Amino acid sequence: MTTLRDEASETLADPATPTRTPPTPNRATTATNPTAGQVDHTVADHLAPLFATLFSAGAPPVTFRFWDGSELGPQRRRVGPNAAPGTLTVHSVDALKRFLWAPNELGPARAFVAGEIDIDGDAAQVLRCLRDAGPDTVRLGLRAVPAALKAMSALGGLGLQPSPPKEEVRLSVWRDSVRHSPRRDAAAVTHHYDVGNDFYRLVLGPSMTYSCARFDHETTTLEEAQASKHDLICKKLGLHERPVARLLDVGCGWGSMAIHAAANYGVNVVGITLSASQAELARRRVDEAGMTDQIEIRLQDYRDLGGETFDAISSVGMFEHVGEKRMAQYFETLRRLLTPEGRLLNHAISARGGSKLGDKSFVNRYVFPDGELLDVADVTRAMERAGFEVRDVESLREHYATTLRHWVSNLETQWAQAVASVGEARARVWRLYMAGSVNGFNDGGVSVHQVLGVVPSKDGRSGMPRTRLGWSWPPAVS
């Protein structure tokens, strides 16, 4: 799971001189003053005072193009290394209404999902440049209210708030209002993962792996990088040392990790997920791989595990659904399932100081309801309190930015198929979410950590290799 952080990826060197480009007058987009016989002000003219207040440089860092064809933005080269990253096209006054009613990130996000705004160009760079333009870029300050009201009145934009797109969800109105209860967690997972297996295949590629990949070289493909990540986890868990081990894969997704471990290391795997559609496809993939005797896929909550033991546990991209209040229960449950010298590899997105997704955040309403990112220091402390000895912590932050760029590219190059699969609004949710998340990993606002813990035997033996060279065992061939 990643977070939306609208941050910039490069500095644009050209001067940010605001320009207002008038449209070609036509009856559909331009009104005429019958008294003076003059063309009225363009949309850009009306909004220029407001934009001068919102943006620290007095103008937006990217070109805004409005529904009448007029433009507002900096004077920048159209091509070359210092060219503007893209254009933000506003198709109707309803987009501006959403800004006015929800001047935090939710208003613009609703407009984008509804198709009232389009981003042409590198979406990640456009989002980052907007965030970097100044502290008032996202939140409408009090000093901007008069300019906003004047502009909206002139454009006919005062009125009731447009209804949110139907893709927006608020779990607080569901029957079970207890955050991170089994019922509510199942609802959150269903909202996120049961979008459609065909859609995820388009975005994630053949590996169907929805977590940070590991790029060994600049030329490494996404599929190779996902296999490398799975292999690293298997080595850290010591599966090459225990070929008859029993592995639990918590949040098994579509079965990629389970299949890799069983095929390359000969282990038996139990994979659990709360997503019915994931479980269905994972079982089919296991069957197609001829591994039904080695892999069992269950539709099961981790809290319902008991009465069985495992030699190793992998949890990849699931921990974001656990939450701070349930963290102790989570690690204590997994600790009880492990045999002496058993290892847990927890792979999860993290944030310094922790970060609960606010109710009015785009990610909470459209992507990851109830999602929480925890501080890696709190994670290691909770693991130790549960009885684990923490043996290794590794950040893969830069790898996730690269992974997300691959996913965005997959989505954009197969846009027509994605829209046919889940509808345009849902496809827009994912483009905005993933493009924005690229920036968070690039600048370190969020990270992703693998934390490895072991359950020592009664006499203190860990079974761990003396050095990390033990994880440099030659990689398996998928």
What Å distances lie between residue 415 and 27, 410, 427, 476, CA to CA?
A: 33, 8, 8, 34
As a whole number, mean pLDDT of residues 178-182 equals: 63
92 closest CA partner among 110, 113, 64, 117: 117
- Asked whether 337 and 232 are in contact (CB, 8 A), the reply is no
> Is residue 455 predicted with pLDDT exceeding 80?
yes
- pTM of structure: 0.85
- Confidence at residue 438, expressed as pLDDT on a 0 to 100 scale: 97
Helices (H), 102-242: 106-113, 123-132, 145-154, 182-193, 197-204, 222-236
In order of their start, the domains of the chain are 18-154 (no CATH), 182-471 (3.40.50.150)
- Confidence at residue 78, expressed as pLDDT on a 0 to 100 scale: 55
How many Å apart are CA 303 and CA 18, to the nearest integer?
A: 57
CA atoms within 13 A on the CB side of 285: 25
- Confidence at residue 80, expressed as pLDDT on a 0 to 100 scale: 58
> Is residue 26 predicted with pLDDT exceeding 50?
no
Which residues sit opposite 162 in a β-bridge?
none
pLDDT digit string (tens) for 232-287?
999 999 998 876 789 999 999 999 999 999 999 999 999 999 988 999 999 999 99
- Asked whether 67 and 94 are in contact (CB, 8 A), the reply is no
> Is residue 100 predicted with pLDDT exceeding 60?
yes
- Confidence at residue 134, expressed as pLDDT on a 0 to 100 scale: 58
As a whole number, mean pLDDT of residues 102-110 equals: 89
236 closest CA partner among 342, 164, 136, 145: 342
> Is residue 147 predicted with pLDDT exceeding 90?
no
- Confidence at residue 20, expressed as pLDDT on a 0 to 100 scale: 52
As a whole number, mean pLDDT of residues 429-436 equals: 95
- Confidence at residue 31, expressed as pLDDT on a 0 to 100 scale: 37
3-state secondary structure at position 340: strand
Question: Rounded mean pLDDT of the chain?
Answer: 85
pLDDT digit string (tens) for 122-132?
999 999 988 88
- The sign of the CA dihedral 193, 197, 201, 202 is negative
- Confidence at residue 435, expressed as pLDDT on a 0 to 100 scale: 96
**Residue that wins the pLDDT comparison between 56 and 46:** 46
Return the beta strands (E) in 283-430 as ranges. 295-299, 310-316, 338-350, 355-356, 372-373, 389-395
Question: Residue 328: pLDDT band by 50, 70, 90 thresholds?
Answer: very high
- Confidence at residue 212, expressed as pLDDT on a 0 to 100 scale: 97
- Residue 160 CB burial class (10 angstroms; 0-12, 13-18, ≥19): exposed
Which residues sit opposite 310 in a β-bridge?
338
> Is residue 148 predicted with pLDDT exceeding 70?
yes
- Asked whether 69 and 24 are in contact (CB, 8 A), the reply is yes
pLDDT-wise least confident of 68-82, 101-115, 348-362, 387-401: 68-82
Question: Residue 185: pLDDT band by 50, 70, 90 thresholds?
Answer: low
- Confidence at residue 125, expressed as pLDDT on a 0 to 100 scale: 93
> Is residue 364 predicted with pLDDT exceeding 90?
no
pLDDT digit string (tens) for 296-305?
999 999 999 9
> Is residue 99 predicted with pLDDT exceeding 50?
yes
- Confidence at residue 419, expressed as pLDDT on a 0 to 100 scale: 97
As a whole number, mean pLDDT of residues 163-178 equals: 69
* Both tokens assigned to 37: 């016989």
> Is residue 399 predicted with pLDDT exceeding 90?
yes
> 73: left (phi > 0), else alpha (psi -120 to 50), else beta?
left
The DSSP code sequence of 378-396 is HHHHHHHHTT-EEEEEEE-
Question: Residue 456: pLDDT band by 50, 70, 90 thresholds?
Answer: very high
Run of H or E residues at 258 = helix 256-265
CA atoms within 13 A on the CB side of 183: 7
As a whole number, mean pLDDT of residues 109-124 equals: 96
How many Å apart are CA 352 and CA 358, to the nearest integer?
A: 16
